[in-house]
Amino acid sequence: MGGMATAERKAQPARVDATRNRERIIAAAREAFVEHGPSVPLDAIAHRAGVGNATLYRHFADRHELIHVVASYSLARITEQAESALAEETDAFEALRRFVHRAADERVGALCSLLYEGFDKNDPNVVDARLGLESAVERLMDNARRSGQLRPDVGLGDLMVAITQLTRPPAGTGCALIERFMHRHLQLFLDGLRAPARSELSGTAVTFEDFETS
């Protein structure tokens, strides 16, 4: 559906105010989802974007579609972050560290809650994007592991879940507070990831599939 909408949009060069409003709505939706979760009233999103609710419905058929677009955007941007960290950093652990903090800035944690609410995990585009992210982060971790800087008993899932958890807006508050703590806590967590391990971990390394197949 996203593809179709884009195609239509290109066929008819669309008015500038229409495309601007579309962007505004997506941005507002991202913020609103981050702050109030995936079931924030669509009217609130429209209001935050400074448009009428009818405009929102004109651009997106329903909440489902809006979530899909917002989530896809974010997924793509985080993957970019992982790949640029891979390409540009020379030190393996520094690359990992950079990715973690950048991903946090994208508010992965908050947006992850979109995944459950009618988000089509089997959409080919989404699957591709997810595999791309998986592979990039796996490479980041492999590099760090091989260079002896990352403890060997942690997996991809350990890192991803921890990032999402630590970057979520705390409890019922807005997102203002977490900004102050997020990077401190991620840094502490990263320090715990460094080799040599300072303790033994319970359970086994968590892979991506572990929480995809839930």
Given a contact cutoff of 8 angstroms between Cβ atoms, the answer to whether 194 and 93 are in contact is yes
> Residue 59 binds what, of its own copies, DNA, none (CB under 5 to 8 Å, by partner type)?
DNA
**Binding residues for DNA, total number by CB under 7 A:** 23
Tallying the residues shown for the chain, one arrives at 214
Our finding on whether 29 is near DNA (CB under 7 A) is no
> Residue 41 binds what, of its own copies, DNA, none (CB under 5 to 8 Å, by partner type)?
DNA
Separation CA 78–CA 70 (nearest Å): 13
50 or 152: whose CB is closer to DNA?
Answer: 50
Given a contact cutoff of 8 angstroms between Cβ atoms, the answer to whether 60 and 136 are in contact is no
- Least Cβ distance, residue 212 to its own copies (angstroms): 11
The radius of gyration of the chain from alpha carbons, rounded to an integer in Å, stands at 19
Site for its own copies in 135-154 (CB under 8 A): 154
Our finding on whether 131 is near DNA (CB under 7 A) is no
Choose which of 157, 175, 207, 209 interacts with its own copies (CB under 8 A).
157
> Cis peptide leading into 196, omega within 30 of 0?
yes
> Residue 14 binds what, of its own copies, DNA, none (CB under 5 to 8 Å, by partner type)?
DNA
DSSP, collapsed to helix, strand or coil, labels residue 150 as strand
Burial degree of 23 (CB within 10 A; 0-12, 13-18, 19+): exposed
Which residues in this chain contact its own copies in the complex, by CB under 8 A?
38, 112-113, 115-117, 154, 157-158, 161-162, 164-166, 168, 170-173, 176-177, 180-181, 183-185, 187-194, 197-199, 201-203, 206, 210-211, 214
